[in-house]
């Protein structure tokens, strides 16, 4: 009995010790990169140039994360506060950072700077090739095999928009970290001109980029105005970084509600994408803590049965995959409107989350001796990029989604006649009954699916033809500047920070 009481006393005294490590606070819409068991966090606060590092080598406990605020040497004074930018790891174990919105214009930050992890210093990047135009809310996803970071989309910075210069981008391009060269491929895209997009996520699976959510923008050539709309999860833009083919295809299954400023990580199964949190589209500020999974092979959504205590609902956060775990960091949990401030009172997330992606359980910690290399990704499939029809206008009948008229139907949503016939022959009378029930169910599903599966392109899956594709080498060929603000402005998406306003 005395031993038991002593154990309880030890647990109470030492199990609830305060965390004496400086913790990350008041950050949203920042950039993170994973490098050699460390997570590097930059941006996300317009008043600070802090660079944070989280050590994962000794496990992790959500009650006290071992954050370290680094103080890199900045000989050339090149680092500036920023938000809505990007970061990724490089071949030399350094971290590449590129600004989005910033209070102070910096050509170095716009072009990209490098954090030298061994020297703990900021370094200017000397690149070759055509540098991309200055932008924000783009994505950059590293291919650790080719050592190329693939970019997509973005918008003009808020500083540019304050000068009545509005522009949005729909281009794919890459930065090769082996020789610091910018690459602009000729992209084949069927079905018309894809809309520009920003504020989205991009996940690389088996050499293919899967673009989710964000907002799309199309310019009206007659009025020279941009039309901006929220992109929900009824479709996915897929880009093959090997063949340079791209397509926007409808999704199927248990499709999540439209969200903004959510996070997305690769699942340890090597074929799925896991999204968490975000704010509901067209809401004042309604954050979620939901988890959904997209199968990249069939573009089918599902919602796993999650156990454990989830972190607080949030948006503007980031998440990173570490082996079988998803680590959720930062973000905003609420925005309270006030009569005296257009920005409102922002409350930041102070808690963190760890989701075990194998057991689908929110856990309080990662074991000390855990190694992400123990997770072996063996996907049994890959998204089948369709061949392009010789008719470049095939299927352009206006049945696409409101935010993207180029979306094509998902072939996995079609009915299998052979399956129905097989059931009837094999099971006799029972098969007939099952067939009748299946037919009723299929009719019902088709009726419900018409709203989310835009169209089926006749002849779309034929042999490829160069005549069917729309080629673009630079974003300027499909995105035009305008001095007129977008027609649709999401004023319900509040300002997250004091100095840099939340973009529509």
SS (H, E, C) 442-472: HHHHHHHHCCCCCCCCCCCCCCCCHHHCECC
pLDDT for 500 equals 37
CA pseudo-torsion sign 143, 149, 153, 154: positive
Which residues are within 8 A (CB) of 451 and not within 5 positions of it... i.e. 6 or more apart? none
Q: Provide the residue ranges of all domains of the chain, joining segments of one domain with +.
A: 28-384+472-477, 411-452
pLDDT greater than 70 at residue 1: no
- Report the distance separating Cα 430 and Cα 418, nearest Å: 17
What confidence tens digit (pLDDT) does each residue in 90-131 have? 988 899 999 999 887 788 899 999 999 999 999 999 999 999
Of 138-152, 282-296, 453-467, give the lowest mean pLDDT range. Answer: 453-467
Let me know if domain 28-384+472-477 sits in CATH 3.60.70.12.
no
State how far the Cα of 428 lies from the Cα of 16, in Å rounded to an integer.
Answer: 66
Weakest-pLDDT range from 21-25, 180-184, 214-218, 255-259 = 21-25
Q: Residue 197: what pLDDT?
A: 97
Q: Which two tokens stand for residue 100?
A: 């989005």
Give the Å distances, CA to CA, from 3 to 6, 10, 79, 268. Answer: 5, 11, 56, 42
Q: Are residues 241 and 143 in contact, defined by beta-carbon separation less than 8 angstroms?
A: yes
pTM across the whole model:
0.82
Question: What is the length of the chain?
Answer: 504
pLDDT in tens, 299-330: 999 999 999 999 999 999 999 999 999 999 99
Strands 300-302 and 252-253: parallel
Closest listed residue to residue 68, CA positions, set 51, 48, 58, 53: 53
Contacts of 224 (CB under 8 A, 6+ apart): 480, 482, 484
Residues facing residue 176 across a β-bridge: 148, 181
User: How many Cβ atoms from other residues are within 10 Å of residue 164's Cβ?
Assistant: 11
pLDDT reading at 347 higher than 90: yes
Q: Is 97 exposed, middle or buried (0-12, 13-18, 19+ CB in 10 A)?
A: buried
Is there a contact between 49 and 79 (Cβ–Cβ < 8 Å)?
yes
Confidence of residue 426 (pLDDT cuts 50, 70, 90): very low
Cα separation, 95 vs 103, whole angstroms: 22
Residue 463 has a pLDDT of: 28
Residue located via tokens 């069927």: 190
pLDDT at 373 > cutoff 70: yes
Where is pLDDT greater, at 340 or 429?
A: 340
Are the beta carbons of 410 and 453 closer than 8 angstroms? yes
């Amino acid at each position: 009995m005395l031993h038991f009481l002593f154990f309880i006393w030890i647990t109470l005294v030492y199990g609830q010790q305060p965390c004496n490590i400086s913790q990350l606070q008041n950050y949203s819409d920042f950039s993170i990169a994973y490098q050699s068991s460390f997570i590097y966090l930059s941006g996300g606060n317009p008043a600070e140039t802090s660079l944070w590092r989280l050590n994962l080598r000794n496990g992790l406990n959500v009650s006290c994360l071992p954050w370290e605020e680094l103080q890199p040497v900045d000989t050339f004074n090149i680092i500036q506060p920023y938000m809505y930018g990007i970061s990724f790891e490089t071949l030399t174990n350094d971290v590449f950072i590129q600004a989005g919105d910033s209070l102070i214009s910096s050509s170095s930050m716009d072009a990209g700077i490098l954090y030298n992890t061994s020297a703990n210093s900021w370094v200017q990047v000397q690149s070759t090739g055509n540098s991309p135009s200055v932008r924000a809310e783009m994505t950059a996803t590293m291919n650790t095999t080719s050592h190329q970071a693939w970019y997509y989309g973005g918008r003009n910075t808020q500083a540019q928009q304050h000068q009545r210069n509005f522009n949005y981008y729909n281009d794919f391009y890459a930065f090769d970290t082996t020789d610091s060269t910018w690459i602009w491929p000729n992209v084949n895209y069927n079905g018309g001109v894809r809309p520009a997009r920003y504020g989205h996520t991009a996940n690389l699976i088996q050499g293919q980029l899967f673009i989710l959510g964000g907002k799309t923008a199309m310019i009206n050539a007659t009025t020279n105005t941009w039309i901006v709309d929220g992109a929900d999860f009824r479709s996915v833009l897929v880009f093959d970084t090997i063949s340079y083919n791209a397509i926007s295809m409808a999704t199927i299954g248990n499709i999540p509600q439209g969200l903004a400023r959510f996070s997305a990580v690769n699942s340890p199964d090597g074929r799925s994408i896991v999204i968490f949190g975000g704010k509901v589209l067209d809401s004042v500020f309604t954050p979620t803590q939901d988890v959904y999974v997209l199968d990249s092979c069939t573009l089918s959504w599902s919602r796993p049965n999650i156990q454990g205590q989830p972190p607080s609902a949030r948006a503007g956060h980031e998440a990173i995959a570490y082996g079988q775990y998803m680590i959720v960091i930062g973000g905003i949990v609420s925005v309270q409107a006030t009569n005296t401030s257009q920005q409102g009172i922002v409350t930041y997330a102070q808690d963190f989350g760890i989701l075990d992606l194998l057991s689908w359980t929110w856990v309080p910690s990662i074991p000390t001796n855990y190694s992400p290399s123990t997770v072996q990704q063996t996907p049994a499939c890959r998204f089948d990029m369709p061949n392009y029809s010789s008719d470049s206008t095939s299927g352009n009948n206006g049945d696409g989604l409101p935010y993207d008229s180029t979306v094509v139907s998902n072939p996995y949503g079609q009915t299998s006649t052979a399956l129905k016939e097989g059931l009837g022959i094999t099971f006799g009378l029972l098969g007939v009954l099952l067939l009748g029930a299946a037919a009723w169910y299929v009719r019902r599903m088709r009726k419900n699916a018409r709203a989310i599966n835009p169209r089926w392109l006749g002849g779309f899956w034929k042999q490829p033809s160069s005549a069917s594709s729309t080629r673009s080498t630079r974003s300027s060929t499909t995105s035009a500047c305008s001095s007129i603000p977008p027609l649709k402005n999401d004023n319900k998406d509040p300002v997250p920070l004091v100095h840099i306003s939340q973009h529509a």
